[in-house]
Amino acid sequence: MQSLAAFGAAPAFAQTTAGTKKTLVVVFLRGGVDGLAMVPPTGDAAYAGLRPTLKLTTPLKLDGTFGLHPAMSALMPLFSARQLAIVHATGLPNSPRSHFEAQDILESGSAGHRAPDGWLNRAGRELGGAAFSMVAVQNGLPSSMQGESSALAFPSLKDFRIGGGDVAATTFESLYAQAVDDALRTSGHDAFDSISKVRHEGLAERSPQNGAVWPKSVLARRLQDISRLIHADVGLHVAATELGGFDTHLAQGAETGQFANKVKELAEALAAFAADLGPRLSDVTLLTMTEFGRTARENGTRGTDHGTASASLVLGGGVVGGRVLADWPGLNQLHEGRDLRVTTDLRSVMSECLDSVRIRRADVFPDFTPSKVGLFG
């Protein structure tokens, strides 16, 4: 059983707008998602020729240019209800094709270099010192949340504990009571109170809401815990989790196969999350992101290699959805002759998502001027 995975604190936070209950949820899709398979540009004349065995022949139609992978059918009601938008040909300019470097750069919110803290940690400067204001439901604190602002990380609400019963809890309280930094002492007390809330109010066992039916996948369990925290009004403003397995160098598959299984897991978990939140989805923005896309051409092992641009999903009550937003570069003008070109800086997408939950983008991306994507009208 894992204990509390991470806790940090920062001196003095500015308070968010009184009464706000907006929440940003970020799902990092690790491994480099093939955006050309997730959201295939079937209306692009070059698409089929680049992917003789990987092209999708039965995609779900989104518009005249783009389709959705058929394994993601669970998302079509949200797209039709205009609660889901897709941004294509997005990524970071000059991103390397190394997983670790590209993930570090993206999670720091920079372009071409690793910043000393993560973009979500910088967002946390505005969230106040409550223990549950910034949470990662995964194994360990992601780079995006590392820095001076306080954050919690745990694999599940069931495992959110110090371990060892009351004696360990007393030791934990004592540790923070002795802290010299006032912000650390306050945050430590809040964290202890939050652990008690999880334990005594049974948050980990709360039933699905609004008739939601949750899949059995790891991602679904993590998103269900995030939904439980939102329903419990514990002050959650920023949440993160992740799904791996997108490094599809060989035997990627088309309508079926390893990629189809992975995006099916993603779609069904997101659909259950939206259903579980019900009316509270209007106060939530969920963003998926990945370190890079895949090559436009399939390789010799019927897979795809590391590329550049991919696609991101944006879900929420405030999203002007039912659209694929893309400054489409075309597959006949590939970056370095191999990759879909980045035409929308992913930080512009991230910035609009921050705006939607009332976090000042300028404090998160101080040296970046975003272009308008139009996710929220």
Least confident of 43-47, 188-192, 200-204, 366-370: 188-192
Tell me: the pLDDT tens digits for 77-118?
A: 999 999 999 999 999 988 888 899 999 999 999 876 667 899
Q: What local confidence, expressed as pLDDT, does residue 204 receive?
A: 87
Q: Is the pLDDT of residue 163 over 90?
A: no
Q: Report CA-CA distances (Å) from 119 to 26, 109, 229.
A: 11, 5, 22
Cβ–Cβ < 8 Å for 351, 365: yes
The confidence band for 195, taking pLDDT boundaries of 50, 70 and 90, is low
Tell me: the pLDDT tens digits for 231-240?
A: 999 889 999 9
Average pLDDT over all residues of the chain? 86
Number of Cβ atoms within 10 Å of the Cβ of 74? 18
- Alpha helices by DSSP H, listed for the chain, are 35-38, 47-50, 76-80, 99-108, 119-123, 166-177, 182-200, 218-231, 258-277, 346-356, 361-364
Mean pLDDT computed over 246-253: 97
Question: Residue 85: enclosing H or E segment and its boundaries?
Answer: strand 84-91
Cβ–Cβ < 8 Å for 22, 356: yes
Q: Is 350 helix (H, G, I), strand (E, B) or coil?
A: helix
The confidence band for 167, taking pLDDT boundaries of 50, 70 and 90, is very low
Tell me: the pLDDT tens digits for 277-331?
A: 999 999 999 999 999 999 999 999 999 999 999 999 999 989 999 999 999 999 9
The whole-angstrom separation of Cα 265 and Cα 282 is: 23
Q: Is the pLDDT of residue 164 over 60?
A: no
The CATH fold of domain 6-364:
Alkaline Phosphatase, subunit A (3.40.720)
Q: Is the pLDDT of residue 72 over 60?
A: yes
Tell me: the pLDDT tens digits for 6-23?
A: 444 332 223 333 345 799
Tell me: the pLDDT tens digits for 32-47?
A: 999 999 999 999 999 9
Q: What local confidence, expressed as pLDDT, does residue 190 receive?
A: 59
Pairing of β 60-61 and β 310-316:
unpaired
Mean pLDDT computed over 357-377: 92
Q: Report CA-CA distances (Å) from 15 to 68, 263, 359.
A: 40, 37, 11
Pairing of β 134-137 and β 152-154:
parallel
Number of Cβ atoms within 10 Å of the Cβ of 214? 18
Q: What local confidence, expressed as pLDDT, does residue 113 receive?
A: 66
Q: Report CA-CA distances (Å) from 281 to 21, 42, 77, 270, 304.
A: 11, 31, 14, 12, 35
Q: What local confidence, expressed as pLDDT, does residue 75 receive?
A: 98
Q: Is the pLDDT of residue 157 over 70?
A: yes
Nearest by Cα to 243 from 175, 314, 142:
142
Q: What local confidence, expressed as pLDDT, does residue 120 receive?
A: 96
